[in-house]
Chain A
Amino acid sequence: MKSVALNMLGNRSDAEDAVQEAFLRAYRSRSTFRQDASLWTWVYRILLNTCRDFGRRRVSHGETPLDIEDGFEPQARDDDHPLRLALMRALDELAPIYREVFILCEVEGHTHREVADILDIPEGTSKGRLFEARQKLKARLRGTVATEHQPSHTLRRTGVES
């Protein structure tokens, strides 16, 4: 869950706060939990809503800079690093509905069925959004990977649709 929040919000501190708030929200509203759903998908759904709220607050308070070092582990400095960086940037520019599906499927390894349960959408919609997300990412990466060494030391996550 921390990883999902990190990829949604861009820094560990916010990710931990979002996980904390999500669990508290779940705990406080546990009486509204419907037992025909999975407890885990329900908590995940609350986490994603919390991340969206955090993103909206950021927009209303101005963008928060993300230090690249905060988002990357030291061992990430391998041959993939430029593409990772480009993918993070491209993901950041994706609309939340695509970013969420991409993160859940491709980064976290959830199945479309699980993603559909978490986001409360049909499985086909999850597949469609992932396809769209990939297309958009590919289009963006084609334009940015070649300029991988451009000077940039901060990423900005806005949480708004590009």
Chain B
Amino acid sequence: MTNQGFDQHDDEQISRVARSLHREWDTPDLWPRIAAQMREDEGSTPVKPDTTRLRWRYPSSPIWRLAAAAAVLLTLGSVTWLAWPRVDTTPPPRAAVDDDRLLTDEAVAEIERAEAQYVRAIDELTRLTKPKLETADSPLIVSLRERLMTIDTAIDEYQMEIDRNRFNAHLRQQLLWIYQEKRRTLEQVQESDRNAL
């Protein structure tokens, strides 16, 4: 390849070669490692994450230790806060609780109806986009497929949290929002052909 040859096609060539810099490779241990670390953060599992590489990188940093201590304190604080309403022996009626972070039974039922609607819409979109997600290998589809995997992981995490605390408004709101994100992403998959034209 010569300089002259390069000059003639530079923009096209740069774009073409740039696209080939996108890479995919299998990392079967990455997501389990992240999920285990998240669970450890929440102090809810005895599973030890494989974070040896990160630990190896900062084995003796005081800042790292301080951050770890802060994370432990934060986790303990969160767990205490979450557990408090359950150990209270004389709780007021839920509807009367003056705390917008806890939902009433009616609100929970309404949110669960909304969630069910999202799940139905998502199931339908998943069915429609499945062939494209399984066969297309354009960078956009690969990126969206990866995004969907992450969203599914997030949904699983939030559902686990919600199973422990159904009345937490923040968690329910976050889950609804993640459902919206999944729907948007699936719609992007559907529209990807149109954008490519």
Contact = CB atoms under 8 A, between A and B. Distances in A.
B41 A87 contact: no
Contacts of A146: 1-3
Contacts of B185: 40
A84 B10 contact: no
B181 A16 contact: no
Given A39-B181, A87-B18, A24 B53 contact: no
A27 B37 CA distance: 10
Chain A contact residues: helix, strand, loop or mixed:
helix
Contact of A87 (B17, B22, B181): B17
Q: Is the interface of B mostly helix, strand, loop or mixed?
A: helix
A3 B23 contact: yes
A103 B17 CA distance: 12
Given A6-B23, A145-B1, A146-B2, A106 B14 contact: yes
Contact of A134 (B11, B27, B53, B177): B11
A20 B6 contact: no
Given A3-B23, A17-B57, A84-B21, A106 B15 contact: yes
A128 to B, nearest CB: 16
Contacts of A110: 143
A109 B20 CA distance: 11
Interface of A: 1-3, 6-7, 12-13, 16-17, 19-21, 23-24, 27-28, 30-31, 33, 35, 38-40, 43, 73, 76, 80, 82-84, 87-88, 91, 102-103, 106-110, 134, 137-138, 141-142, 145-146, 148
Interface of B: 1-3, 6-7, 10-11, 13-25, 27, 30, 33-34, 37-38, 41, 51, 53-54, 57, 71, 138-140, 143, 146-147, 150-151, 154, 157, 170, 173-174, 177-178, 181, 184-185
Given A30-B174, A142-B7, 5 more contacts: A16-B30, A87-B14, A91-B21, A106-B19, A109-B139
Top 10 nearest A-B pairs by Cβ distance?
Answer: A106-B18, A109-B139, A107-B21, A39-B181, A109-B140, A23-B34, A146-B3, A3-B22, A145-B6, A83-B17
